């Protein structure tokens, strides 16, 4: 299948939006301290560039940690349940947790992640996602899965760049682009 690439958000637009999100998050977490800092959790690999830009723009005390999420895909569609690799078992008890995601699509990954994290007794959990495709949300997640902090709401397009991949490719593209698939 032939594909073509189209611009969705330029590097500049994404950088500006990340600064705004960081300001909003910093203002909402005024109550965190050096002794009780925010715990920002990066979902690897897609969120990595968004995450590093975002946390470095925060003005509140923040620790960082990482988890690997495998959503097995066939082309552009996930197959089966996502699998999480929490490394050396991250301690979330009584922590202010901010999950940083690249994109919320059907909502299945975020739902499974919230289930897992809530069992670990955090003080609170919020979600920050660079992108959201609300038109793709499964009905059962319509009311339960949303980002507290969202970069951009986008239509049902497959996007790449800024950490997002298509079969492992295009993650390092500096702009967010969408793919168009042509039957040949
Ligand atoms: P979910 O459908 O909300 O569970 O999203 C699962 C995962 O699919 C996301 O975390 C992404 O890794 C991936 N994904 C969904 N939509 C896109 C896209 O447009 N481009 C690249 N990856 C995507
Ligand atoms: Mg992801």
Is residue 107 within 6 Å of ligand 1 at its C-beta?
yes
pLDDT at 83: 81
What pTM did the predictor assign?
Answer: 0.95
- List active site positions: 105
Q: How far apart are CA 104 and CA 153, in angstroms?
A: 10
Which residues have C-beta under 5 Å from ligand 2, the single-atom ion?
46, 102
Contact status, residue 159 vs residue 130, Cβ threshold 8 Å: no
* Interval 62-114: pLDDT, tens: 999 999 988 777 777 777 778 888 766 789 999 999 999 999 999 999 999 99
Q: How far is the CA of 57 from the centre of ligand 1 (A)?
A: 25
Residue in the block written with tokens 């295009």: 170
* Interval 105-139: pLDDT, tens: 999 999 999 999 999 999 999 999 999 999 999 99
Is residue 71 within 6 Å of ligand 1 at its C-beta?
yes
**Residue 46 reports pLDDT greater than 90:** yes
Q: Which residues does 107 contact at the CB level (< 8 Å), separation at least 6?
A: 137, 138, 141, 144, 145
* Phi, psi of 94, deg, nearest 5: 60, 15
How high is the mean pLDDT of the chain?
94
Q: What is the architecture of the domain spanning 11-69+81-154?
A: 3-Layer(aba) Sandwich (3.40)
């Amino acid at each position: 299948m032939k594909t073509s690439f189209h611009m969705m958000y330029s590097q500049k637009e994404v950088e500006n939006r990340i600064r705004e999100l960081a300001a909003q998050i910093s203002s909402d977490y005024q109550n965190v301290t050096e002794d009780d800092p925010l715990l920002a959790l990066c979902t690897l690999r897609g969120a990595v560039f968004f995450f590093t830009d975002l946390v470095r723009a925060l003005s509140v005390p923040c620790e960082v940690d990482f988890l690997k999420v495998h959503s097995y895909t066939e082309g552009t569609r996930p197959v089966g349940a996502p699998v999480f690799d929490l490394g050396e078992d991250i301690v979330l008890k009584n922590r202010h947790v901010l999950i940083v995601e690249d994109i919320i699509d059907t909502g299945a990954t975020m739902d499974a992640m919230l289930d897992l994290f809530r069992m670990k007794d955090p003080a609170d959990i919020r979600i920050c996602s660079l992108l959201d495709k609300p038109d793709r949300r499964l009905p059962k997640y319509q009311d339960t899965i949303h980002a507290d902090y969202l970069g951009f709401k986008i239509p049902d397009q497959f996007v790449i760049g800024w950490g997002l991949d298509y079969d492992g490719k295009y993650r390092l593209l500096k702009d967010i682009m969408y793919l168009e698939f042509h039957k040949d």
